[in-house]
Amino acid sequence: MKKVLLFGATGNLGKEIGKEVVKQGCELTAVVRNKAKAEELTGIATRFVIADIANPSSLANICTGFDVVISALGKSVSLNDKTNLLSGILI
């Protein structure tokens, strides 16, 4: 069974990717900002890693042990989202 790490799993696209990964028989681990975000993925991901993509130190060695790493990270296009784009992120 392939081990898959998914960034951006709580977004619309990320959730769909997560469902497909599980459907394909892979073990899915989702990278989330906090425990509340992890709860949004109940029934999709079986494991979670809490990390902040804006904090490079929280990403150290995060991909170790996975066969596949997928990024569905992106800026929200919601009219209700008033946050700025992240800048200076090193991944």
Q: Could you read off the pLDDT of 16-61 as tens digits, one per residue?
A: 999 999 999 999 999 999 999 899 898 999 899 999 988 889 899 9
Please enumerate in sequence order all residues whose Cβ is within 8 A of that of 66, keeping only pairs 6 or more positions apart, or say none. Answer: 3, 4, 5, 29
The pTM for the full model equals 0.81
- Provide the β-strand partners of residue 30: 6, 48
Task: Using the predicted structure, report yes or no on whether residue 3 has a pLDDT greater than 90.
Answer: yes
- Domains parsed from the chain with CATH numbers: 3-71 (3.40.50.720)
> What is the pLDDT, as a whole number, of residue 62?
95
Strand, helix or coil for residue 2: coil
